[in-house]
Structure 1
Amino acid sequence: MERNWLDVVSLILIIIGAVNWGLIGFFNLDVISAIFGNMSMITRIIFAVVGIAGIYSLVLFWKLKTEE
């Protein structure tokens, strides 16, 4: 399967989200909230976009699984 730009952007966003959750779990440090404010509009948008990237990755994973 050929990858497009949306696959790459989705993967980058998922990595950012995973690193942020790891920092929350290990050090109680939410980098996104620290940079953009605690539950400010931009923080909520970033969290929503990362969530959408996660849903997109489920679809991508299903596509890859069915191609085998």
Structure 2
Amino acid sequence: MAQAVEEWYKQMPIITRSYLTAAIVTTVGCSLEIISPYNLYLNPNLVVRQYEFWRLITNFLYFRKMGNSNFI
């Protein structure tokens, strides 16, 4: 089973694989409270005035915290 997942992952195009990996890392990081979602959302004032350019990309990577409470 693990070999099938690994093969599936390796056969993805590089852009899709990179996006999937970044989205999973960002979402898991927020779920484990390593990263705050408030550091990821798009705020044009912070991008322009404080040069926080990562906000242009990270807002597309975070979906929401994972857990059982999301399914209720």
Q: Name the TM-score, length of structure 1 as normaliser.
A: 0.38
Structure with higher RCO (Cα < 8 A, 6+ apart)? 1
TM-score, normalization by structure 2: 0.37
Larger Rg: 2
